[in-house]
């Protein structure tokens, strides 16, 4: 009879060991003690992917709980079989059974806590995904605003080409019927955007000019802020030395070929 009692006690101790293992596993889950799960950039003691760590810990603990539930119930049957048929041990058998029921209740409680934590992790992952989408949209918006803010436009051509494109007009001069001597080219008030080439003034510091010919700036941009200009004449390429001041005159740069 003593052997049966010792065997039953051993079963209970093993069962308690299983419960202790579950408790240790749960206590290793970040945020378990405070009942808080924080998703953030991480710190010295907390990895950036804390929600992944939590989810993996919860998964492991959940598997352990499910496996232990079946194991403990099987051991309960063994203990009942060992002690239940002996009247002298019924009192101890009832105590063992109560202990096991307490353990099973603890497992149910832990299972409920795991479900709560899983739901919280899912909620945080959803919130993080939404935040990433919003950040991406904000980044796209900021990028579009920056591109629009830095956009400048350049038109290069002969006088006849620029006149046909509506980029420049003749103005001034003496009115002598069909002939108006002294006229000069000036930028059109509303030139068509498609007659210009778009550039990013924050990136482009040099603009190649076709045919290695000489060009003159028609728009109000000051050649003093260029690197290789000779007065108003530019040949080969237009090198911008001071972009901020050069583009202060306007976003539409017009150059007319002079030879």
Write the pLDDT tens digit of every residue in 219-242: 999 999 998 777 778 888 899 999
Question: So what's the pLDDT on residue 44?
Answer: 45
d(CA 103, CA 147): 65
Average pLDDT of the segment spanning 76-80: 65
Question: So what's the pLDDT on residue 38?
Answer: 45
C-alpha separations of 97 from 65, 131, 180, 201, 229 in Å = 19, 51, 115, 81, 99
Statement: residue 41 has pLDDT above 90: no
Question: So what's the pLDDT on residue 218?
Answer: 93
Question: So what's the pLDDT on residue 194?
Answer: 93
* Packing angle of the helix pair 50-83, 90-150 (nearest 10 deg): 170
More confident residue, 45 or 83: 83
DSSP at 206:
E
Closest Cα partner for 241 from 216, 222, 214?
A: 222
Question: So what's the pLDDT on residue 43?
Answer: 46
Contacts 24+ apart (CB under 8 A), 78-81: 78/11, 79/8, 79/11, 79/12
Statement: residue 124 has pLDDT above 70: yes
d(CA 201, CA 159): 25
Query: What is the dihedral sign for C-alpha 168, 174, 177, 179?
Result: negative
Q: Kindly report, residue by residue over 159-204, the tens digit of the pLDDT.
A: 999 999 999 998 875 455 555 555 789 999 999 999 999 999 989 9
Candidate from 25-39, 146-160, 174-188 with smallest mean pLDDT: 25-39
Average pLDDT of the segment spanning 23-35: 54
C-alpha separations of 153 from 24, 148, 248, 254 in Å = 67, 11, 13, 8
Question: So what's the pLDDT on residue 37?
Answer: 43
d(CA 122, CA 197): 49
Question: So what's the pLDDT on residue 247?
Answer: 94
More confident residue, 104 or 125: 125
| Contact status, residue 162 vs residue 155, Cβ threshold 8 Å | yes
| Contact status, residue 52 vs residue 28, Cβ threshold 8 Å | no
C-alpha separations of 241 from 152, 213, 222, 226, 227 in Å = 16, 21, 11, 5, 5
Which residue has 């079989």 as its token pair? 81
Pairing mode, strands 252-257 and 151-157? parallel
C-alpha separations of 114 from 5, 18, 71, 239 in Å = 35, 17, 19, 66
Question: So what's the pLDDT on residue 12?
Answer: 60
At 39, the pLDDT band (50, 70, 90 cuts) reads very low
Statement: residue 45 has pLDDT above 80: no
More confident residue, 181 or 54: 54
């Amino acid at each position: 009879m003593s052997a049966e009692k010792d065997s039953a006690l051993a079963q209970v101790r093993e069962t308690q060991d299983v419960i202790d293992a579950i408790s240790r596993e749960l206590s290793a889950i970040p945020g378990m003690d405070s009942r808080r799960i924080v998703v953030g950039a991480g710190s010295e003691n907390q990895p950036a992917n804390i929600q992944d760590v939590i989810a993996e810990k919860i998964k492991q603990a959940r598997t352990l709980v499910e496996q232990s539930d079946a194991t403990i119930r099987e051991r309960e049957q063994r203990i009942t079989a060992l002690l239940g048929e002996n009247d002298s041990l019924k009192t101890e058998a009832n105590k063992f059974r109560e202990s096991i029921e307490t353990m099973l209740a603890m497992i149910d409680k832990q299972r409920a806590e795991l479900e709560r934590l899983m739901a919280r992790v899912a909620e945080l992952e959803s919130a993080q995904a939404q935040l990433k989408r919003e950040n991406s949209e904000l980044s796209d918006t900021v990028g579009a605003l920056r591109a629009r803010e830095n956009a400048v436009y350049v038109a290069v051509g002969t006088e006849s080409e620029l006149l046909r494109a509506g980029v420049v007009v003749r103005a001034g001069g003496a009115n002598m019927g069909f002939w108006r001597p002294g006229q000069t080219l000036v930028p059109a008030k509303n030139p068509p955007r498609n007659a210009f080439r778009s550039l990013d003034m924050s990136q482009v510091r040099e603009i190649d000019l076709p045919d290695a010919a000489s060009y003159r700036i028609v728009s109000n941009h000051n050649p003093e802020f260029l690197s290789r200009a000779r007065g108003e004449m530019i040949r080969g390429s237009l090198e911008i030395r001071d972009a901020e001041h050069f583009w202060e005159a306007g976003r539409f740069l017009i150059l007319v070929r002079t030879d």
